[in-house]
Structure 1
Amino acid sequence: MPVSRFGVSLEEDLLKALDEYVKENNFANRSQAIRFLVEKNLVEKKWKCDNLVAGAITLVYNTKKKEIRSKIQDIEAENTEIILSSQIFHINPENCMEIVAVRGPSFKLTELSDQLIAIKGIQHGKLIMSKVD
Structure 2
Amino acid sequence: MERFTISLDAQLAEQFDALIAARGYSHRSEAVRDLIRAAIESDRQRQAPTGHCVANLSYVFDHHERELAERLTAVQHDHHDLIVAAMHSHLDHANCLESVILKGPTAEVRAFADALIAERGVRHGALNVIATEVDGGRDHRHGGKAHRHADGAAHVHYRPAR
Q: C-alpha separation between the residues in 1 aligned to 2:93 and 2:70?
A: 19
- Report the RMSD for the aligned CA atoms in angstroms: 2.6
Please identify which structure carries the higher helix content: 1
Measured after TM superposition, the shift of residue 43 of structure 1 is: 2.3
Q: Structure 2 vs 1, CA of residues 2 and 48 (structure 1 numbering), >3 Å: closer, same or farther? A: farther
Contact 1:63–1:69 under 8 Å retained in 2: yes
1:41 Cα deviation (Å)?
5.1
Q: Deviations over 1:8-66 (max 9, x none)?
A: xxxxxxxxxxxxxxxxxxxxxxxxxxxxxx7565221346112x211111110111124
Pairs within 5 Å for 1:94-133: 94-130=94-130, 131=132, 132-133=158-159
Structure 1 counterpart of 2:85, which letter?
A: S
CA distance in structure 2 between the aligned counterparts of 1:42 and 1:97, rounded to whole angstroms: 29
Structure of higher RCO (CA pairs closer than 8 Å, 6+ residues apart): 1
Shift of 1:126: 0.8
1:80 and 2:75 are equivalent in the alignment: no
Residue pair 1:76, 1:83 contacting (<8 A) in 2 also: yes
SS in 1 for 2:80: coil
Please state whether the residue corresponding to 1:98 is helix, strand or coil: strand
Listed one character per residue, the Cα deviations across residues 67-116 of structure 1 (whole Å, up to 9, x for unaligned) are 11111111111101111111110111110101111110111110000000
Q: Which residue of 1 aligns with 2:135?
A: none
Trace 1:1-133 onto structure 2 (pairs within 5 A): 42-46=43-47, 48-50=49-51, 52-130=52-130, 131=132, 132-133=158-159
Q: Is the 8 A contact 1:56 1:128 kept in 2?
A: yes
Mapped to 2, the partners of 1:122 and 1:94 lie a distance apart of: 12
Displaced runs of 4+ in structure 1, greater than 3 A?
Answer: 38-41
Structure 2 unaligned residues grouped into runs of 5+: 7-38, 133-157
The structure richer in strand per residue is: 2
Q: Percent identity?
A: 18
Q: How many residues align?
A: 102
Structure 1 gap segments, 5+ residues each? 4-37
Distance 1:95 1:106, change over 3 A: same
Higher Rg: 2
Tell me the SS of whatever aligns to 1:124: strand
Paired letter, 1:49 = T
1:47 and 1:106 in contact (8 A); partners too:
no
Change (3 A) 1:39 1:73: same
TM-score normalised by the chain length of structure 1: 0.65
TM-score, normalising length: structure 2: 0.55
